[in-house]
Amino acid sequence: MQRLTGIGVSPGVVSGRAVVLMQRAQVLRYRVAPERIADELARLDQSRLRSRQQLQDIRARIGRRRGPELAALFDAQLLMLDDPMLVPRAEGLVRDTLVNAEWAVQQVFDEFSAIFDEIADPYLRERKGDVADLVGRLKMNLRQDVSSPRDLLSALEEASVLIADELTPSLVAQVDWTKVRGFATDAGSRTYHTAILARSLEVPAVVGLHCAVDRIQPGQMVVIDGTENAIIIDPDAKTLALAERASTDHRPARHGEGDRRRPAATADGVRITLDANIEFADDLAHARYAGAEGIGLYRSEFLLTSHRALPTEDQQYEIYRRMLEGMAPGTVTVRTFDVDEDQMARRSTDPTLGGSWISEEERGSRQGLRGLRLSLTRPELFRTQLRALLRAARHGSLRIMFPFVSGVEQVRSARQLVSEAAADLQARGIVVPHVPIGVMIEIPAAAYTADLFAREVDFFTIGTNDLIQYCLAVDRADERVSRLYEPLHPAILRVILTVRRAATRARIPVSLCGEMASDPALLTLLVGLGLTEFSMTPGAIGVAKQVLSELRSDDLRALARRVLRLPTVDEIEQELLAALGRYSIR
């Protein structure tokens, strides 16, 4: 029995088998039941096959563009896929230690890293980067079989506790807490959002442990004691019995159908609209089950990942129609294709299509020809999507949203193409209903001219992920500066307020989507800034409703006024923590 002391942020005692989450390595480590090992090995084999096909495609594409010499750089990774020290070694770990494939692959990479670090030859030492690239690809392809952390964690067959190096609020909001009884994290600073969520959910939690993920193996029995600021690894029978008796008082009840369907509102009755973000039409059922009132963001570009060529007008129409009928009477907001020119690299001989999908991992900056800018250079491609959308609009409540807009002239050009698409349909005898047209405010130029955009469109959606990145000049994928990606930066809060005020003056609706909306603590501050419409990952909706129902809108407005006077992120965080601690979330 071993005891680790940390900071208890939510009281109570629970016990369970450990699920270990390495956020920094982007891998979850958990115990796999013996009868499911064959399925886990099949997932790993499918990942290997996908990775091989992707590398062969990349090699061929580079060979066509840059010649065989550069293409040969990928031969090493293809050979590594057959090396018995990589995938077969990971398969052995899955079988022998009953761990999930993601963790086994990560463990193999750690072993490789130790070997490469000891090599004196600089050239050979640099080959560690090839291994890292390949391992990242294998892990990416393993994730294709798991749609979300919530889905993965909900598949656990026994009561568990979550042990993590760090735990984001957006993940906390998606966990099925009827399966996961409590959590503990190594990180102990800058985790106030997660701590507030734990208290709101009445989930025992301890943070600031520093070494828990290194000392705890998946499947080990762990007791989390949020009252005594400690966790106990491999507890004895007496300690475990005491924890089990205490656990029954800290298991959140499942939300009933009435709770899920209950509209979101603050404690003093201010109505809040919570919609869902989805990537695929099949996600619609999950959004409805979670209690979403509508679809605030359908990322239509994901249609490109499931077709060898751009879907035809009829194919797109059927997808949009099913979505609108399935979400009725709620509104579905479809974002037109948000891709860049690299993602549309040559797959087809049709010059209007451009070609195949390139994943995030294979491309560089997205600041160039992207979103509406790209659509306007491919008018036939754009008209095809617009015709499909306008045809589908008869089957429900549709809104069309243009992404990555930086100037009013782009909106005017796009609206002209909408009119042309409507005229094409009317010439075919198809009645086209009125469809609201909006823009995504995610570029600083659009945010600071929001009053001008408001005259041209029917609604705004603030896309916080890109807006933060471009406002702060921070690439979230660059570890050297990713810590500067701060949603609570004073500039970000002021930009959001500017856009909200412009929409209010023009009397058009404004919603906010992105990671900020999925963080319930930040959500409360956004309500204080005057926003009442949000779109988030479906798993975050239930917790958002619960948190909002415990807070008064006048308290949140007062909090926002205080926060807007503060000059640093640290001071804003401290004020938010203190305020939410004083209010109803405890």
Q: What confidence tier does 368 reach under pLDDT thresholds 50, 70, 90? A: confident
pLDDT above 70 coverage of the chain, percent: 80
Distances from the Cα of 540 to the Cα of 197, 521, 553, angstroms: 11, 12, 20
pLDDT of 59: 74
Contact between residue 367 and residue 444 where contact means Cβ atoms under 8 Å apart: no
Q: How many CB atoms lie within 10 A of CB 224?
A: 32
**450 has pLDDT over 60:** yes
Digit-coded pLDDT (tens) for 110-125: 887 777 777 766 656 5
What is the mean pLDDT of the segment spanning 50-58? 83
For the chain, which domains are there? 2-28+156-250 (3.50.30.10), 34-143 (1.10.274.10), 270-553 (3.20.20.60)
**503 has pLDDT over 50:** yes
pLDDT above 90 coverage of the chain, percent: 48
In the three-class reduction of DSSP (H, G, I as helix; E, B as strand; rest coil), residue 275 is classed as strand
Instruction: Tell me how far apart the alpha carbons of residues 271 and 548 are, in angstroms, rounded to a whole number.
Output: 10
CA-wise closest residue to 484 among 469, 465, 463, 462: 469
**43 has pLDDT over 70:** yes
Q: Is 471 a catalytic residue?
A: no
pTM: 0.69
Q: Which of 66-70, 347-351, 452-456 has the lowest mean pLDDT?
A: 347-351
Backbone angles phi, psi at 338, to 5 degrees: -110, 75
Query: Which residue among 193, 250, 286, 395 is the active-site one?
Result: 193
Q: Is 513 a catalytic residue?
A: yes
Q: Which of 343-357, 478-492, 518-532 has the lowest mean pLDDT?
A: 343-357
Digit-coded pLDDT (tens) for 124-153: 655 666 777 788 788 778 866 554 555 555
Between residues 63 and 10, the one the model is more confident about:
10
Instruction: Tell me how far apart the alpha carbons of residues 397 and 314 are, in angstroms, rounded to a whole number.
Output: 19
Q: Which of 77-91, 187-201, 331-345, 387-401 has the lowest mean pLDDT?
A: 187-201
Q: What confidence tier does 467 reach under pLDDT thresholds 50, 70, 90? A: very high
Q: How many CB atoms lie within 10 A of CB 256?
A: 9
Query: Which residue among 250, 395, 471, 513 is the active-site one?
Result: 513
Q: Which of 201-210, 416-425, 428-437 has the lowest mean pLDDT?
A: 201-210
Contact between residue 442 and residue 404 where contact means Cβ atoms under 8 Å apart: yes
**191 has pLDDT over 70:** no
